[in-house]
Amino acid sequence: MKVFSSIFHFIEKMYHAIRELFWLFFVFILFPLVTIVMFISGRDYMNEGATLTGIGLYSAGVVFALLTVGFVYGTVSEYIDKLKQRNK
C-alpha cells in the first residue's frame, strides 16, 4: 500500500512541476515574444500604408506588454514569497 501512495505522490509532484514549467514558459518566453511580434507587425503594416491596422497592432502590443509585465511581476513575487516561507 505504501508503494501506491509513493507512486501517487510522485505523479502529483510531477503534475505540479510540469504546470509550473508550462506557466514559466508562457510568462517568460511566449508573452514577450508575442508582444515583440505585435510591434514588428504593426510597424510593417504602417510602412505598407495600412495605418489603421498598424495602429491597432501597436495598441494591442502595448496592452499585451502591460499584461506581460504584470504576469512577470506576479510570478516573481510569488516565487519570492515561496522562498521566504521555505526559509522560515
Name the pTM for this structure. 0.66
What is the tens place of the pLDDT at every residue in 13-34?
Answer: 887 778 888 887 877 888 888 8
- In terms of residue numbers, what domain contains 56? 2-87
Chain-wide mean pLDDT for the chain?
A: 84
Mean pLDDT of 4-17: 79
Burial of 53 (0-12, 13-18, 19+ CB in 10 A): middle
Cα–chain center distance at 67: 9
CA separation for the pair 40, 46 (Å, rounded) = 10
Domain count, the chain: 1
